Each structure stands twice: as C-alpha cells, then as structure tokens.
A and B are shown apart, each in its own frame.
Chain A
Amino acid sequence: MRAEDTNTPTLVEPGAPVLAPGHTYQSVQEDIGSIVLTQSAGRRWMLCFAVAFLAVNMLLVAVIYLFVRGVGIWGINIPIAWGFAIVNFVWWIGIGHAGTLISAILLLLKQDWRTSINRFAEAMTLFAVMCAGMFPVLHLGRPWLAYWLFPYPNTMGIWPQPRSPLLWDVFAVSTYFIVSLMFWYVGLIPDAATLRDRAVEPWKQHVFGVLAMGWRGSAKHWARYEMAYLLLAGLATPLVVSVHTVVSFDFAVAILPGWHTTIFPPYFVAGAIYSGFAMVLTLAIPIRKFYHLEDFITMKHLQNMAKVMLGTGLIVAYGYILEAFFSFYSANQYEGFMMKNRVTGPYGPAYWALILCNILIPQSLWSYRVRTNVTALFILSLVVNMGMWLERFVIVVTSLHRDFLPSSWGMYYPTKWDIMVFFGTVGFFAMMFFLFVRLLPAISIFEMKDLVHKVAHAHDKKGH
C-alpha cells in the first residue's frame, strides 16, 4: 500500500500534517477500532466514570427533591425568575454548537482537519443539548406537563403562542437535537459495519450489525449516502446559526435594559462557537493522550481550534464593546444605568471576571508557543468555558435584578440545589462522554481511510 511507504513524510499541505505519516487503512481502523473492540476499560477510565456517575446521582437527588418541593428550593425569585436554569441552558446549548460547526461547516468548506475531531464533537453536541434541554423542563414548575410546550389538539382548547420566542425556542432546540442525532448516526453507519466485520465476539457482531443496518459499502449506497450527508451538512449550517439566534431572541425580544439589543443574535452565535471550541479542546486533549490518538488529533488540530477560539473570542469582545457603546449612544437612562450597574454594581466582580476570562487571558493565543503547548491550551479552554458561563450569568442576572423601578429590585443568590443541578449535568455530560468513548468509535474510521487515500495520492503527485 502506498501509504506504508514511510520514508518520506506524507503531507496534504506544507506545515503540520492532519494525519501522522505512515498510516494505512488497516492501521487506522486498528488504532481507532481497538479502543472499542479489544482494549479493556482500564482503571483510569473506571475512576473517571465512577466520579461522573456519582455526580449523576447527585443530579438525581437534586431533581427528585425539586419535583417534591418545587422550584422554590432554587435561589430564583421575582425579579430574577430565571436564575441558574436559563444560564446553564444557554451555556450548554452554546457548547453544543461547535460540534455542528466542525461537522457541518468545515465539511462544506472542505477542511481536511475536521475528519478526526468531527465524530466526538458531534457526540459532544448531542450530550450538551441533552443537558441544555433538562433546564427549561426542570424550571417549568410542573415538569410532568412539559408536553404542553408542543402544539397538539387538546381538550383544553388552548394552543401555544407562535409569536413568542419561547415557542420558537421549543422548535429550534428540538429540531437541533433531532438533526444532530441523525447527522451523528448517519456518520456512524459505515463505521458500525467496519466494527461488525472486525468483532470476534458474537454479541458485539450482533450489536454493531444492528447499528450498521446491513451496510455493505455498495457504490450506489455510497453515492446516496454522500449526497445525503452533504445536504444534511448544508441544512445543519443555517440551523446552528438559527438555534442560537432564537436563544438570543428569548432575551432580545424582551424590553429589559441589557437584553433589548440588536447585537444579541450575532454576538450569541459567536459566543456559542467560542465556548464550544473551548469544550472540544477540553475533551480532545485528554482523549488523545489517554488513548494515544496523537497521530490522528495532531498539533495542527489543536492549533486550528485555538485560532478559531481566538477569532470568535474577538467577535465576542466586539459584542461587549458594542453593548457598552449602545448604552451610551442610545442616551437612554435605563440602558446607561444598566451598564454602570453591570460594571460597578453588586455583580461587578462577575463582569470583570468574565472580561478577564473571555477577552484578556485568551489574547495569549496570539503566541505560537501558547498555541502549541498542550497544557496551556487545556487550561485556556477551561478558562474560556468558565468565562462564557459567567457571561450568561451576567446577562441574565444583572439585567433582571435592577430594571426600571427601584421598588422591584432584588438580589439573586444560588442555593446548594442550584449548584447541585449544575454540577450534576456536568457529571451527566462526562458520563455520557466516557460511555461514548468506550462503546463507539470516537473518530470516524471511514473518513480517516479516505484521508489516508488522499494523503497517499497527494504524496504520489508530488514525489514519484
């Protein structure tokens, strides 16, 4: 096989490779498939999974108590009726967006480097949307009536309001989940066939056989498959923009100072991609280390993600600057007060912490040395995740707590139940991710084979 020729480096383009040299179809599927098929879980995985599972149990306790006692156990009140629940909802849904961006937009832009990170980025999207979806339902007060959110003929004779951003949100988030799930599953079908044919144990052959649905790699099937995949990418691209736009409408359509801004949709979408790429880095760096996937998730991937973070981070910074400018230029006393209160009010430290986390510290990404330092990138990704969470907290809480009338001002302090639910969803996300890494191929095998073929070809054209 041509790619076996390891004497000369196989590069798609000058610079760092998107795939380490010397890989063949066999070695790719062996390295990726063996994590699922033959390697044992290992003590480190068991320990991580146990911690995540413990957190899920904490979530369960917090949610059961919430169902028994009602949302009064949270720190929410009037005026801050939306506390952690909406902060966490927006944070999680934003994290999900990088997965779709990597799998859909980078596919349309024919970026080779997406191949080794798209599968787990899509999985991240699914799990993040699951976490996000919990919060509005838990916040309902009577979560067992959550199906009232959907329009269906009912004996009460009432319908949800299609002019309300809250109903737009229901449609946007549920469409997003379904489309992300389909996109992810369609990508898995050929890989499930590969694992079906490689598995030795009959039960694994059966499980992957069912997942593969009888996929046999026919040329006609591939032709339809590629067309469907491409069109799904084309549909998912505007979808991801629309989802966070609709989420921002939840705020921007209200008349509250600090929410009622036209900058919100683009600024929310950029923020979502920013935090999402930070989360992909948070996940990719440990995975490539523990499962020795440095050949597939190369420094080029980490560098490119760092650059996307730097770019979207600057758009977010532009959003912050414009928010401040609007409050001044509108000459509206409520807008002006909102900004002053945000910067110097009781939640001022949160605002400055978010400026530090989202704008100042990430500027270090201009440095090549930081972009190529894995530890620094990992820490930076955590900083950005925290900063983006703080951003949503500042938007939700500081805007609500002091609006037009001083008589309706208040303060919001999260209770331990708020914190338990939040970290519980972090645990749920981690648990799902640990399961995913063990049970399904974390990197798309067939797309890596395609990359091996392309790399071999590029090599042929250059050399021999």
Chain B
Amino acid sequence: MPDDSTTNITGHRTEIISGDFPVTGRWGFLAEFREPEDLVKAAQRAYDAGYRRMDAYSPMPVHGLAEAIGFNRNAVAPLVLVGGVIGCCSGFMLCYWIAVVAYPLNVGGRPLNSWPAWIPITFEVTVLVASLFAVLGMLAMNGLPQPYHPVFNVPRFALASQDRFFLCIESADPLFDPVETKQFLEELHPDFVSNVEM
C-alpha cells in the first residue's frame, strides 16, 4: 500500500504521516525517537494507557525498556539451570556407564565407581549443555532465525540497528484504533509515526 511515509533512510525530517489507512493489512503504528530515554518514557505511557501488544526496538540494549513494555517473563535463566542439571547428570552418567558398565577395568582392586576422577568431565559437560541451552534457548524464545517481520516493511526501520529508537503498537491490541492510536503516538512527540504494513 503506497503512502507518504518516509522512504529515504538518510534523508531529512519528513512530514508526519497523515490520512486514512485501510484497516486490513496493518501490523501497527511505529513511532520513532532520537533518544533511548524518550523511548522508555513513551513505552511506559503506552503501557499505562492500557496497550499490551507492543514492542520497542533499539540498536543497543536499553535499561528498563523491556519492563516498560510489560515484559517480565524472562525464561532464559531457569532454562540454563535445566540445561546445567541435564549436562551434569549426563556427564556423570557417561563416565559411570563407561567405567562401571560398558568397560569395567580392575585396576589393583580399586572401586569401579571412582567418582572423584569423573568430576572434570562432569563439569565440562555441565558447562557445555548449559551454554547450548542459553544460546539455542535464547534464539528459540526470540523466534530467531526469522527471515521476515512486518516492521522491516518500514524503510526507516533500518535505523533501528543504527541510531534511532522505535515503539510499535500492534493492531492486534484490543485497544488499537487506527485513529486514536496514531493520535496517541503523535502526542508522545516522536520524530515520525509510520504505518507498518503486513
């Protein structure tokens, strides 16, 4: 859908988009800010206004931003704990299996279950599995790799990895209204408000 949203990512300030948009095919509205603090404030106000289906985008981690949009179920840490426990048990069981079950060697009558000698391998496997859970779990919960996302349809969104900060209120939000939501975002004094197509 052609609109008058900005197409020049390096260009100067263009007008705030006005006019009507068709209701279908809209992912949401994207407001652009210059400073991380402005984005956090805007996200906080959007949350206070009752919006829940939204996301904020920034080129670097911004302190307090995830909390501002109401994200507080970060499951990475418990997942890593699970990975560590699985790794610890499997590392130890591997040594036990080899030395006691599969290939028992009688070395001067010493006990087969010589567990102190298995601590290094148990430790390494713990770290390995916990790290794999951390990285793969983080990517999976973030839904990455993800080749397509509607926000990339906004040309200025390329700046989200550069030096601009974005807040997107999605049309899936129950409070979303094509007119009121746009007005609400404009009241937050962003540089631009863009329409995000599906």
Residues of A bordering B, CB below 8 Å: 1, 24-26, 29, 151, 157-163, 165, 167-168, 171-172, 175, 178-179, 182-183, 185-186, 190, 193-194, 196-198, 213-228, 231-232, 235-236, 238-239, 242, 246, 249, 446-447, 449-450, 453
Q: Are the C-beta atoms of B60 and A447 separated by less than 8 Å?
A: yes
Residues of A within 8 A of B147 (CB): 214
Interface residues on B, range: 35 or more
- Binary per-residue interface labels of chain B (108-149) against chain A in the complex, 1 for a CB within 8 Å, 0 otherwise: 000000100110110111011011101101110110111111
Q: How far is the CA of A387 from the CA of B95 in the complex (A)?
A: 38
B171 on interface, CB distance cutoff 8 Å: no
Residues of B within 8 A of A222 (CB): 58, 60-62, 65-66
Q: How far is the CA of A224 from the CA of B117 in the complex (A)?
A: 36
Q: How far is the CA of A225 from the CA of B161 in the complex (A)?
A: 15
With A172-B124, A178-B128, A194-B161 in contact, is A216–B149 under 8 Å at CB? Answer: yes
Residues of B within 8 A of A242 (CB): 120, 123-124, 127
Q: Are the C-beta atoms of A225 and B61 separated by less than 8 Å?
A: yes
B122 to chain A, nearest CB (A): 9
Q: Are the C-beta atoms of A232 and B69 separated by less than 8 Å?
A: no
Q: Are the C-beta atoms of A168 and B131 separated by less than 8 Å?
A: no
Q: Are the C-beta atoms of A228 and B134 separated by less than 8 Å?
A: yes
Residues of A within 8 A of B60 (CB): 190, 222, 446-447, 449-450, 453
Q: How far is the CA of A460 from the CA of B149 in the complex (A)?
A: 37
A36 to chain B, nearest CB (A): 14
A-B contact pairs, 8 of them (CB 8 A): A162-B117, A196-B161, A198-B162, A215-B161, A217-B59, A222-B65, A227-B138, A446-B60
| B102 (CB) vs chain A CBs: closest residue | A159
Residues of A within 8 A of B48 (CB): none
Q: Are the C-beta atoms of A213 and B128 separated by less than 8 Å?
A: no
- Contact for B76 among A29, A193, A224, CB less than 8 A: A224
A182 to chain B, nearest CB (A): 5
Q: Are the C-beta atoms of B124 and A171 separated by less than 8 Å?
A: yes
Q: Are the C-beta atoms of A175 and B149 separated by less than 8 Å?
A: no
Q: Are the C-beta atoms of A171 and B120 separated by less than 8 Å?
A: yes
A187 to chain B, nearest CB (A): 11
B160 to chain A, nearest CB (A): 5
Q: Are the C-beta atoms of A163 and B59 separated by less than 8 Å?
A: no
| B67 (CB) vs chain A CBs: closest residue | A223
